[in-house]
Amino acid sequence: MTFSTRRVALVGALAVGIAVLAGCNSGDKGAPQAATADAAYDGTIHPEQWPVVEWPLAEDPALEKRVNDLLATMTLEEKVGQLVQGDLASITPDDVRKYRLGSILAGGSSDPGGKYNAPAKDWLQVADDFWAASMDTSGGGKAIPLLFGIDAMHGQSNVVGATLFPHNVGLGATRNVELQRRIGQITAAETRATGMEWAFAPTVAVPQDVRWGRAYEGYSENPQLVAEFAAAMVEGLQGKVGAPDFLDDKHVMVSVKHFVGDGGTTDGKDQGDTAVSEAELRDVHSAGYVTAIKAGAQSVMASFNSFHGVKMHGHKPLLTDVLKGRMNYGGFVVGDWNGHGQIPGCSTTDCPATYDAGLDMAMATDSWKGMYESTVAAVKSGKLSTERLDDAVRRVLRVKFRMNLFDAPKPSARALGGKFELLGAAEHRAVARQAVRESLVLLKNNNGILPLRADQKVLVAGDGADNIGKQAGGWTLNWQGTGTTRADFPNADTIWEGLQREVSAAGGSAELAVDGKYKAKPDVAVVVFGEEPYAEFQGDIPNLLYKPGNDADLELLKRLKSEGIPVVAVFISGRPLWMNREINASDAFVAAWLPGSEGAGIADVLLRKADGSVNHDFKGKLSFSWPRTAIDSAVNKPGHNPLYKFGHGLSYADKGDVAALPEDSGVTGEQAGSGVYFAKGRPALGLSLQLSSASQPDMPATTVPTVLADGTLRMTAVDHKAQEDARRLQWSGTALAKFALIAATPIDVTRESNGDVQLQLTLRRDSAVSAPLTVGVGCGAGCAAKVDLQATLSAIPAGKWVSVGVPLKCFAAAGADLSRIQRTTELETAAVADISVSRIALGAAGEAEVNVDCATR
């Protein structure tokens, strides 16, 4: 059943307060223009104004007896253990055996043996080992099977060889709800094969500002579309309530996320504040939860964001009064990565307030031991009531009994355990390939250039043409989806491989030249380019410019056009961006989103059959409106005027000619990507360079060379990847001196620290480092922190450019207040040193080539 045919049923289900949805036309309207929050609105929640939802699982007396009988025998410590979840990178089976924890997770970059490309058998062994620990009573305690959760975001995307589906931004463009259900079934099967029974999916955010780095995790800006896909994905992953296979060991339980309002933060800031009206929060941002609860979702994940300043992990009116009360939610609420630590008065290791607010299981990734101990103490002292504790434990145990985990063998002995042939199975890949075909949105087709004859000379160019990592995007083998190789994807086709195979089969010739410098002049060029992989934090951007300051892709398109070659642009991205210049430089423009492992699905649509007929037509329709300028990113703001509205998308039957578009982005001033402090030889907008010594503090370094008057530090320009794109820093060793990047206004990086983000420096050592050389941050008078890099730099070969990552947590541990950083980077020494720096930016753990462990310093 498609999106439009299920509208009437959905509107009936939303019932109370969803009048906005009833007027939302699937053809040309995106997010409803919900009222923005009144300036006087203080964030008060009125549960009686929210929809009443019927929990689909009737009370089961036999199940309740099993829960209550077990609960009656459990010690306080065993109860608390059920409510704490540790991360694979920070916990061992012996820890589970001792503390009787109820769950573990594998975070985006937490893998067996610390290897992002660990084989499937290693994942299954980990699952067996932790299961065995939870069932081992040799040291006392109850045998209560744990839940193993993982971010199966677009397939079982953490495991080498798994089928990788398009991210949700592309699936929303298909409008094919039944296809989504099938994708859920396949994801469940491949997840079970590797040992887990819990998928942290689906994301039912309704992104209203695509500057948000997680916008691609949302199906659409339209709440009705999100609601339909949410129900289908829940049923695909878990099975249908009432069916014999519901929650059997060929399915997984879900975690519908992130409750609530993650897609509505001001300026699209990840983990920011959602300062909208209660009506918009209810009608737009909760739409997916209504249908997911009706489908029997077993867990809901609390969000990092705030609602009018109150963090969701501590928001009792929403977690308890609305979700569990008004909406009759009968599963359990799990936290996000140390999200409880953001509640005022809490830390990551001590937060009874989050349980009191309605959280049932804390995702205390690396803080699980402290959280366990402090929660036990909180119950003993009365800070956390026994009633709330028992309610949370009951909710977790009910799910485990519903899934028959108490009667199940170890993961490898279950129905699909160890059936690794399911990973990337031909049938599964065929479904993913269909999803790619149906997700493609055609925005331009001048002179009907598409579909292309396959029996001609086809040039395939662009850095996305032969790059699985790029076409798969974030949450692929690791958190940010970076640093992977072709060998990591044995069951996949790049876009080039799909095109080359079909062209050759039709008697044509295909040539791959990433830079577009062909050997023989082609009849047509297909240029594949787009965003680099990213996930939360790293994906936030200040506007909708595409690669500001880097016009290489545009220049490639223009060069091929100038040589008389028709150009088809295939754009890989997790969101719509301002692409007017690139659209103008192309004869055809295709939004391919993040297609995943099946790049051949693009060839299916771009190329004709051998007899010249259309093979597959374009079916995709925009699930997000496409911007007219680079500053019109928020669909819920007055004056939003997209270039292409929600629902737009050409087919081959349409006249696809597009007149030249305006090339004024609307952005003024030089813009740097989010989290980039220094690149291409200059600081980011809003930052400045300074050199300092005791005799000459805070001297602006606006030109090269810049030399302190006392000769302690000299800065000159050197080349890394381009002419003078780096700065060479030479300390004389006569006195202490520093290089610093200063922010005009303080920067808050607490959320990045919570997500294990690093300060990453791309640098080259050209001298010995014989004394301490520190990297630090400053946060106002008397507030600073430093980490010594002497040992790290000494271990790096001289003359080699290397990226070095320092966890932001290191600076917090050393005393910095990460909520008000003004000196974003300081490099300081009193010794002779010669260091060149080409880039300073925030980055995900695992991206840097060398990682500093502050625990050993």
Query: How is 238-279 classified by DSSP, letter by letter?
Result: H--TTSTTTT-TTS-EE-EEEETTGGG-GGG-TT-EE---HH
* Closest C-alpha among 489, 500, 483 to residue 432: 489
On the CB side of 579, CA atoms within 13 Å amount to 25
Catalytic residues: 336, 536
Q: How far apart, in Å, are the Cα atoms of 61 and each of 68, 242, 398?
A: 10, 16, 11
> Which H/E stretch holds residue 183?
helix 177-193
**Six-digit token pair at 492?**
């996949």
pLDDT value for 671: 44
826 vs 278: CA distance, rounded Å: 44
pLDDT value for 28: 45
pLDDT value for 853: 87
* pLDDT tens string 744-800: 889 988 878 877 789 999 999 999 999 999 999 999 988 999 999 999 999 999 999
> Which H/E stretch holds residue 809?
helix 808-813
pLDDT at 307 over 50: yes
Reported as a pLDDT band with limits 50, 70 and 90, residue 637 is: confident
Burial class (CB in 10 A: 0-12, 13-18, 19+), 33: middle
74 vs 83: CA distance, rounded Å: 13
pLDDT value for 751: 78
Residue 688 amino acid letter: S
Q: Strands 687-693, 737-747: parallel, antiparallel or unpaired by DSSP?
A: antiparallel
What is the DSSP secondary structure assignment for residue 33, as one 8-state letter? -
pLDDT at 167 over 80: yes
Q: Strands 676-679, 588-593: parallel, antiparallel or unpaired by DSSP?
A: unpaired
pLDDT at 605 over 90: yes
Burial class (CB in 10 A: 0-12, 13-18, 19+), 93: middle
Residues 366-394: what's their mean pLDDT?
Answer: 98
Q: Strands 676-679, 682-683: parallel, antiparallel or unpaired by DSSP?
A: antiparallel
| % of the chain exceeding 70 in pLDDT | 94
Question: End-to-end CA distance of the chain, in Å?
Answer: 59
681 vs 721: CA distance, rounded Å: 11
pLDDT value for 550: 83
CB-based contact 525:516 (threshold 8 Å) = yes
User: Taking the mean position of all CA atoms in its chain, how far away is CA 610?
Assistant: 40
* Closest C-alpha among 379, 371, 395 to residue 99: 371
* pLDDT tens string 503-528: 999 999 999 999 999 999 999 999 99
pLDDT at 692 over 90: yes
Q: What angle, rounded to 10 degrees, do the helices at 287-294 and 7-14 form?
A: 100
CB-based contact 118:111 (threshold 8 Å) = yes
28 vs 153: CA distance, rounded Å: 28
* Closest C-alpha among 741, 714, 706 to residue 821: 741
CB-based contact 497:600 (threshold 8 Å) = yes
Burial class (CB in 10 A: 0-12, 13-18, 19+), 28: exposed
Instruction: Locate all alpha helices (DSSP H) within 672-786, ordered by sequence.
Output: 750-754
Residue 292 amino acid letter: A
Residue 723 burial (CB count, 10 A): 10
454 vs 452: CA distance, rounded Å: 6
Reported as a pLDDT band with limits 50, 70 and 90, residue 59 is: very high
pLDDT value for 34: 46
* pLDDT tens string 103-134: 999 998 899 999 999 999 999 999 999 999 99
Q: How far apart, in Å, are the Cα atoms of 504 and each of 275, 455, 500, 789?
A: 55, 8, 6, 53
CA dihedral of residues 626, 628, 632, 633 (deg, nearest 10): 20
> Which H/E stretch holds residue 150?
strand 147-150
Burial class (CB in 10 A: 0-12, 13-18, 19+), 612: exposed
Give CB contacts under 8 A, 24+ apart, made by 653-661. Answer: 653/617, 654/445, 656/442, 656/444, 656/445, 656/446, 656/448, 656/450, 656/588, 657/444, 657/445, 657/446, 657/447, 658/443, 658/444, 658/446, 658/583, 658/589, 660/584, 661/580, 661/583, 661/584
Q: What are the φ/ψ torsions at residue 322 (nearest 5 degrees)?
A: -90, -60
* pLDDT tens string 332-342: 999 999 999 99
Across 56-60, 284-288, 553-557, 846-850, least confident range: 846-850
* Closest C-alpha among 197, 306, 221, 296 to residue 256: 296
CB-based contact 451:517 (threshold 8 Å) = no
CB-based contact 459:526 (threshold 8 Å) = yes
pLDDT at 29 over 90: no
Across 156-170, 305-319, 722-736, least confident range: 722-736
Residues 610-634: what's their mean pLDDT?
Answer: 96
CB-based contact 148:105 (threshold 8 Å) = yes
pLDDT value for 423: 98
Reported as a pLDDT band with limits 50, 70 and 90, residue 185 is: very high
pLDDT value for 857: 54
pLDDT value for 31: 58
User: How high is the mean pLDDT of the chain?
Assistant: 93
Residues 657-674: what's their mean pLDDT?
Answer: 78
pLDDT value for 10: 39
pLDDT value for 3: 47
pLDDT at 82 over 60: yes
Strand partners, 717: 727
Q: How far apart, in Å, are the Cα atoms of 546 and each of 210, 245, 618, 643?
A: 13, 46, 24, 16
